[in-house]
Amino acid sequence: MGFFSRNIKARDTEDEQTLDPIAEHDYSRRVELLESFEKSGLGWFWATDGQGRLIYMSKSALDRFGKTEADVYGTLLTDLVENDRSDSDDEYARENRPLAYYLGARNSITQLQVKLPLRGEDMYLELAGKPHFDDSNRFVGYRGSAKDITRSRESRRDAERLSQYDSLTGLANRHRMNKRLDNALAQYRNSKRSCALMMLDLDRFKQVNDTLGHPAGDELLKQVAARLGQIMNHGGEIGRLGGDEFLIMLPDLDDRGELGELATRVIQMIAQPYSINGSRAIIGVSLGIAIAPYDGLDAEELIKAADLALYAAKGGGRGQYRFYSSDLKEGAKLRRILEEDLRDALIKDELVMHYQPIVKAKDYKLSGFEALIRWEHPERGFISPEIFIACAEDIGLITQIGEWALNKVCEQAQQWPVELRVAVNVSPTQFGGDDFVQVVQRALKKSGLDPTRLELEITESVFAGDDEQTLGIFKELKDLGVRLALDDFGTGYSSMSYLRNAPFDKIKIDQSFVRGSTEEGNNNSAIISAVVSLAQALKMETVAEGTETKDELELVIDRGASHIQGYIFSRPITNEEALERLAKGELEYEPRGPEKYRAERKTVYRTVGAIHEDHRYKVTLRNISKSGARIEGLLDVPVGTEFVIDLGDGQLAVATVRRSKKQVQGVEFETPLISDGADGLCTRHRVSPYEIEAAGKPLAALSKDVYGQLAADRPISIPRFAEVDTSTG
């Protein structure tokens, strides 16, 4: 029986058909229609009495539910079904009004989704209904319909999931992360909570993609997502923004010390080798960190801050994290200018090669030089290689610059009056080029340099792709007669496996192991011993990089390093200086430097605030370390005086004067500063924008001069100390 019953008199095809519509008073046929609808399974009917108890439910529905009339009739509708909350996105989602609300208010019900708990698998229904009144306008219950939406609901949820989650990694996608962040920050502003945001970008991912193929790249992204999940351990929400970019949201975390430690763990975990279809891949990661409400109040502002911090981390050499600061806006502008200027630097002959001596540990005699590229910008002066090399990689110039450097070094070394070896750094991108071996061969042929004098310094990141291809390139290079050195040894992972197969002639012990190796309780000296023993067993030379003090020199020699490189003997010098020294026969070096290693103190020159009582003085910060600083600009300050050093961006460090002479003071911080992830320092905590709001100011991200904001309405007191001008000192 269909939905419509038609009384048709059977005649020949050409006979007329009589139309017999169902009249409103034709109750039997109307009931027949309703029964047909119920039996079709497309929907059911239900009814309650004035107390909300079920008095009717379609038989097909009872059969579907596995219940009888006795099980259902007399049961409150609200006891039979539950409000469906499983679609709620999270704690920030709007609450759907429950069924009891509609029934209690006697409101009409339209497309209300409810859950019917059943054995095995729950069923989801969509209810509709209207309150029913008798002729005396007395409420007598509800009359309504229902339909099974379990399948369509699952299809819709699958579609919604596809729209909110990354199909490759299963992580939240950009759309969902933006929505989550927007909702979270709105709620956190009301409850005065913080939220940190980490933006991640994989280093050398493109190299893996190009070498092993896109399926391998997809597998790598899945493994990265899994590792991030292990590190976070449900402590934050992770999303993939697309490509090789990820985002991590960390509620209630504003301690930059904890965030720095977490970022370090992420960098270390992501840098461990990956096994993909029998091949090994090695990548790195750079991180930018921003914290609400300090660095932004809404999602757009906070993401922009984290992106700037990430940009700075990548610009600083990759494999780093950086916290957002207001200075990064200017840094990003400068970086873009440098990228443009770098394109012209080769043409304008602005790049030059400098050479740092490598001496023999046994007699301090010159063994060779490491070639280091330098850029003297015509307007901005010396540009750090960490900055412009990263720029070159980003804009695709690194191979071109690398080839220029190789040719220039071979040409200059051939002109030296003494036949010494020269080491040239090779980037992973340059090494992985199709014609790298031919580039080396052409440079040797053009310059006439003896191949045995050329040493190529290669980091373990060249093993990020196909091992067989990499070893094949090594063999071709050795067939040319050049030497191979493994640079920055020990800073990555699985380095010993490289040594087992790769034909290296030298291992360079990274300066991070030399630095601080003489401090009590430092394990670096044991690591140096282990590396040297390994190299000796493999008949390889060792170079202790970054040796700067006499106690470090004594230690690395005692541990058996065969060669030394560092400021203890010489800074990098120009080719002209190298030629002059070699022409004079000055091949032996005398160690010159501090007697002992001291905790790193960074030389700076900038104006900061020194707050005493209710007065803020302008002083010049000359150097700074984690434990203290040297300031200039206040006259005759007594030892023991307490200040609050305003480092800007809401960073206030309580400090005590420990040394004082005329206008110079040495102060000790009450709480040590922490690393900003690169070569700078920052405070663990900052002044909260919520505190500024409590002082009557509008809620906003931190400005450069937070103290000025807070003290704007205070009366100016008579200063206790005299300020002096140190700008010319």
Predicted confidence (pLDDT) per residue in 172-223, tens digit: 999 899 999 999 999 998 899 999 999 999 988 887 888 788 899 999 999 9
Q: What distance in Å separates the CA atoms of residue 696 and residue 65, rounded to the nearest whole number?
A: 61
Spatial CB neighbours of 652, under 8 Å, sequence gap ≥ 6: 611, 644, 645, 646, 683, 686, 687, 706, 707
- Give the length of the chain: 729
Predicted confidence (pLDDT) per residue in 397-447, tens digit: 889 999 999 999 999 999 999 999 999 999 888 888 888 999 999 999 999
So what's the pLDDT on residue 710? 72
Q: Which long-range contacts (CB under 8 A, 24 or more apart) does 713-721 make?
A: 714/614, 716/615, 717/613, 717/614, 717/615, 718/615, 719/615, 719/617, 720/612, 720/613, 720/615, 721/612, 721/617, 721/634, 721/635, 721/636, 721/637
Rounded to a whole number of angstroms, the distance between the first and last alpha carbons of the chain is 103
Q: Are the beta carbons of 252 and 195 closer than 8 angstroms?
A: yes
Spatial CB neighbours of 131, under 8 Å, sequence gap ≥ 6: 106, 107, 108, 139, 141, 142
Q: What distance in Å separates the CA atoms of residue 16 and residue 81, rounded to the nearest whole number?
A: 51
So what's the pLDDT on residue 11? 44
Instruction: Give the confidence band of 97 by pLDDT, cuts at 50, 70, 90.
Output: low
Predicted confidence (pLDDT) per residue in 471-485, tens digit: 889 999 999 999 999
Q: 3-class SS at 314? A: helix
Q: What distance in Å separates the CA atoms of residue 699 and residue 718, rounded to the nearest whole number?
A: 31
Q: Fold for domain 351-583?
A: TIM Barrel (3.20.20)
Among 33-42, 84-93, 209-218, 566-575, which is the least confidently predicted range? 84-93
So what's the pLDDT on residue 119? 73
So what's the pLDDT on residue 724? 87
Q: Are the beta carbons of 499 and 530 closer than 8 angstroms?
A: no
So what's the pLDDT on residue 391? 82
Among 48-62, 177-191, 376-390, which is the least confidently predicted range? 376-390
Percentage of the chain beyond pLDDT 70 is: 91
Among 233-247, 327-341, 500-514, which is the least confidently predicted range? 327-341
Instruction: Give the confidence band of 93 by pLDDT, cuts at 50, 70, 90.
Output: very low
Q: Are strands 506-509 and 541-544 parallel, antiparallel or unpaired?
A: parallel
So what's the pLDDT on residue 88? 47
Average pLDDT rounded to a whole number, residues 712-728: 75
Among 147-161, 486-500, 688-702, which is the least confidently predicted range? 486-500
Q: Are the beta carbons of 717 and 613 closer than 8 angstroms?
A: yes
Instruction: Give the confidence band of 491 by pLDDT, cuts at 50, 70, 90.
Output: low
So what's the pLDDT on residue 22? 77
What are the residue ranges of helices labelled H in 492-549? 495-501, 511-514, 524-537
So where are the chain's domains?
41-149, 165-325, 351-583, 602-711
So what's the pLDDT on residue 86? 58
Encode burial over 241-277: b for 16+ CB neighbours within 10 A, e otherwise: beebbbbbbbeebbebbebbebbeebbeebbebbebe
Q: Which residue has the tokens 């699952």?
A: 154
Q: 3-class SS at 197? A: strand
Q: What distance in Å separates the CA atoms of residue 466 and residue 428, rounded to the nearest whole number?
A: 13
More confident residue, 461 or 685: 685
Q: What distance in Å separates the CA atoms of residue 226 and residue 221, rounded to the nearest whole number?
A: 9
Do 165-325 and 351-583 show the same overall fold? Answer: no
Average pLDDT rounded to a whole number, residues 361-388: 88
Instruction: Give the confidence band of 7 by pLDDT, cuts at 50, 70, 90.
Output: very low
pLDDT value at 94 more than 60: no
Among 140-144, 639-643, 722-726, which is the least confidently predicted range? 722-726
Instruction: Write out 415-464 in H/E/C secondary structure.
Output: CCCCCCEEEEEECHHHHCCCCHHHHHHHHHHHHCCCHHHEEEEECHHHHH
Among 20-24, 310-314, 674-678, which is the least confidently predicted range? 20-24
**Bond into 572 cis (ω within 30):** no
Average pLDDT rounded to a whole number, residues 510-539: 86
Among 5-9, 221-225, 260-264, which is the least confidently predicted range? 5-9
One-letter amino acid for residue 180 of the chain = R
Instruction: Write out 660-682 in H/E/C secondary structure.
Output: EECCEEEEEECCCCEECCCCCEE
Query: What integer best gives the mean pLDDT of the chain?
Result: 86
Average pLDDT rounded to a whole number, residues 528-534: 91
Spatial CB neighbours of 634, under 8 Å, sequence gap ≥ 6: 610, 617, 619, 663, 665, 721, 722, 723, 724
Neighbour tally for 21: CB within 10 Å:
10
Nearest-5° angle of CA 397, CA 492, CA 529?
A: 125
Predicted confidence (pLDDT) per residue in 159-170, tens digit: 777 778 888 999
Q: Which residue has the tokens 């700067």?
A: 548
Average pLDDT rounded to a whole number, residues 538-555: 92
Q: What distance in Å separates the CA atoms of residue 272 and residue 319, rounded to the nearest whole number?
A: 12
So what's the pLDDT on residue 471? 85
Q: Are the beta carbons of 697 and 712 closer than 8 angstroms?
A: no
Q: What distance in Å separates the CA atoms of residue 682 and residue 676, rounded to the nearest whole number?
A: 6
Q: What distance in Å separates the CA atoms of residue 43 and residue 706, rounded to the nearest whole number?
A: 64
Q: 3-class SS at 645? A: strand
CATH node for 602-711? 2.40.10
pLDDT value at 344 more than 50: yes
Sign of CA dihedral 134, 139, 141, 142: positive
So what's the pLDDT on residue 96? 53
Q: What distance in Å separates the CA atoms of residue 460 and residue 488, rounded to the nearest whole number?
A: 8
pLDDT value at 337 more than 90: no
CA atoms within 13 A on the CB side of 506: 29
Q: 3-class SS at 193? A: coil
Among 115-124, 131-140, 236-245, 367-376, which is the least confidently predicted range? 115-124
pLDDT value at 598 more than 90: no
Instruction: Domain 165-325: give its CATH superfamily.
Output: Reverse transcriptase/Diguanylate cyclase domain (3.30.70.270)
pLDDT value at 283 more than 60: yes
Which of 644, 657, 642 shows the shortest CA–CA distance to 683? Answer: 644
Q: Are the beta carbons of 646 and 656 closer than 8 angstroms?
A: no
Average pLDDT rounded to a whole number, residues 139-151: 90
Distances (CA, A) of 198 to 292, 298, 306: 12, 15, 7
* Structure tokens, 270: 């992501």
So what's the pLDDT on residue 9? 44
**Helices 299-315 and 327-345, packing angle to 10 deg:** 40
Predicted confidence (pLDDT) per residue in 315-329, tens digit: 777 788 999 988 887
Candidate CATH numbers 3.30.450.20, 3.90.420.10, 3.60.15.10, 3.40.50.10490; the one for domain 41-149: 3.30.450.20
Instruction: Give the confidence band of 589 by pLDDT, cuts at 50, 70, 90.
Output: very high
Average pLDDT rounded to a whole number, residues 269-277: 88
* Structure tokens, 514: 């030399």
